Amino acid sequence: MLDKRMSAAEIAAQIKDGMTVGIGGWGPRRKPMALVRELLRSDVKDLTVVAYGGADVGMLCAAGKVRKLVFAFVSLDAIPLEPWFRKSRESGALEVLELDEGMFQWGLKAAAFGLPFLPTRVGLGTDLAALGGLKTVQSPYDDGETLIAMPALKLDVALLHVNRSDRRGNVQVFGPDSYYDEWFAKAAAKTFVSCEELVDRMEDHYPEQARDNLFERCFVSGVIEMPGGAHPSSMPPHYGWDMKAFKAYAAAAKDPGDWSAVQDRFVGANEADYLNSIGGKEAVAALPLPIF
């Protein structure tokens, strides 16, 4: 039987210096943080990171892993300004492409469909196009409209955290919102998926939930079971975000704010150590879902 199971180290080893890595989720929600922590434990560098950013982006920036960031925001919601991202930006360390949230997913869709760009009105009348080097196209039809050509955001690798998968990469994604995870999967040459629960054959366990198969297994290159793998971000319906952990992480960015001195607290030597340090996966599972 097709078996895409991999270890976290094997997944991290697929990500080479200079690659473009898309990270699913949105701000403090549904982030593949366990896989991000694995990257932080590796020697990889010079990444181009493409994300609706939260602590994933903040940590990778703080650790000096990011050469270029493609983003529309980086935020922890209740802590609106992501402090480690902010420090990196204000130090001039990052090359950036700043995009509107909608243009961003449009670029993923262009990549998914193998198109060089998709046209949009979004960006006209703002500084985005001039600052980001985005060009315009003219409609060839009678309207002749001038539009921004949003370039494809082609990813070498996408990292996602989902609720369930089987060994073949048949995923099931629950929770109120899956954000743009399916488009990260389709925009990437390879997508690696961590999950709260891994089963051998989905059809033998949860056939009645096949509607929740957000994207097909041809878009999945590797899977790994990592319960609590989104911590400290939220993973509904399993657990909410860990605001205490986010606050500690944000506080650590204050002077001197040296990531190398604090990385161990927020990343750990390995994932088992990390989970132990926060009270185990049971403590993660007990985190209440956020209320808006």
The residues that touch other proteins, with contacts defined as CB under 8 A, are: 26, 53, 71-75, 80-81, 85-86, 89-92, 94-96, 98-103, 105-106, 121-128, 131, 136, 138, 144-147, 176-180, 182, 288-289, 291-292
Task: Answer whether the bond into residue 237 is a cis peptide, omega within 30°.
Answer: yes
Closest approach, Cβ 2 to other proteins, in A, equals 28
Q: Which is nearer to other proteins, 4 or 105 (CB)?
A: 105
Closest approach, Cβ 133 to other proteins, in A, equals 11
Angle of the 259-267 helix axis to the 55-62 helix axis, nearest 10: 140
* Dihedral sign, Cα of residue 181, residue 182, residue 188, residue 192: positive
CB atoms within 10 A of CB 218: 10
Reduced DSSP (H G I as helix, E B as strand, rest coil) percent helix, strand, coil of the chain, to 5 = 35, 25, 40
Closest approach, Cβ 272 to other proteins, in A, equals 30
Q: Do strands 117-120 and 146-151 pair parallel, antiparallel, or not at all (unpaired)? A: antiparallel
Q: Which is nearer to other proteins, 22 or 222 (CB)?
A: 22
Q: CA 57 to CA 34: how far, in whole Å?
A: 13
Query: Are 178 and 215 within 8 A, CB to CB?
Result: no
Closest approach, Cβ 223 to other proteins, in A, equals 22
Q: Which is nearer to other proteins, 101 or 197 (CB)?
A: 101
Q: CA 283 to CA 159: how far, in whole Å?
A: 24
CB atoms within 10 A of CB 13: 13
Q: Which is nearer to other proteins, 126 or 276 (CB)?
A: 126
Closest approach, Cβ 91 to other proteins, in A, equals 7
Angstrom distances, CA of residue 63 to CA of 39, 84, 251, 260, 264: 10, 9, 16, 7, 11
Q: CA 42 to CA 21: how far, in whole Å?
A: 15
Angle of the 83-90 helix axis to the 55-62 helix axis, nearest 10: 40
Q: Which is nearer to other proteins, 3 or 177 (CB)?
A: 177
Q: Which is nearer to other proteins, 146 or 276 (CB)?
A: 146
Closest approach, Cβ 129 to other proteins, in A, equals 9
Q: Which is nearer to other proteins, 81 or 189 (CB)?
A: 81
Q: Which is nearer to other proteins, 91 or 260 (CB)?
A: 91
Closest approach, Cβ 261 to other proteins, in A, equals 22
Q: CA 62 to CA 93: how far, in whole Å?
A: 10
Closest approach, Cβ 31 to other proteins, in A, equals 14
**b/e map 140-176, b = 16+ CB within 10 Å:** eeeeeeebbbbbbbbbbbbbbbbbbbbbbbbbbbbbe
